[in-house]
Amino acid sequence: MDRRDALRILATGAMLQLAPRKLLAVMQEARSAVGVAPAPRSLNPHQFATVKAMAEMIIPRTDTPGATDVGTAEFIDLILTEWCDDQERSRFVNGIGDVDSRSQVLFARDFLDCPPVEQAEILTGLGEKLIEDVERRRDDPHSTDESPASPEKDFYPMLRQLTLTAYYSSEEGATTELHFQIIPDRHAGCVEVGSGKEGQENQ
């Protein structure tokens, strides 16, 4: 599997449908690409910082690593650069601009300049809109929504999907959250098999 195939599988959210051996190959291929990226290529510094902040709010650091700890923003920039087409990339970037427009209307400042409580309000609004869209499609699966696509309609679902994919395809996310054993803890290949009496005597 080449790197572009690995990125396609990750970007389309098909990762967790793979068998463990195949999943490991995809993760290694994509993560190696993230590690060699010198700097963001599709996002400018402001856009990159906005994505990084939003991703960290989706998966914050607790007793387990957060989105920032596993390089989520770098992963998203890689997907945008090497897998998405120009239209998808443009919609994503326009969606970041829409986030700042919402923030300016509500709080007279960009998303990055808002305190956490205001940032949370913006993400909550985007999440509620996403839920409304999902419920509308579920209630009327045969309808065709021909209304013009708005930036947030494409951006926020894509951001969430890529954030989750980036997290769970990382070693930290796969091992701490999914309990996917990428590398065995230890291999004792030369241990002599005994009767077990010694262990019983020590109990």
Under a CB-based contact definition with an 8 Å cutoff, are residues 65 and 176 in contact?
Answer: yes
pLDDT tens, per residue, the chain with 203 residues: 444 555 555 555 555 554 445 555 555 666 665 555 567 889 999 999 999 999 999 999 988 889 999 889 998 998 888 878 899 899 999 999 999 999 999 999 999 999 999 999 999 999 888 788 767 767 666 655 544 445 556 799 889 988 988 887 777 766 665 555 544 444 445 545 454 444 454 55
As given in the structure block, the two tokens for residue 105 are 């209307």
Amino acid making up residue 109: R
Under a CB-based contact definition with an 8 Å cutoff, are residues 33 and 3 in contact?
Answer: yes
Beta-carbon contacts of 34 under 8 Å, excluding residues fewer than 6 positions away, are: 71, 74, 75, 78
DSSP code per residue over 27-44: HHHHHHHHHH--S-SSS-
CA-based nearest residue to 10, from 161, 139, 171, 174: 161
- How many Å apart are CA 170 and CA 59, to the nearest integer? 13
- How many Å apart are CA 26 and CA 9, to the nearest integer? 8
pTM of the model: 0.70
Biggest CA-to-CA distance, the chain: 75
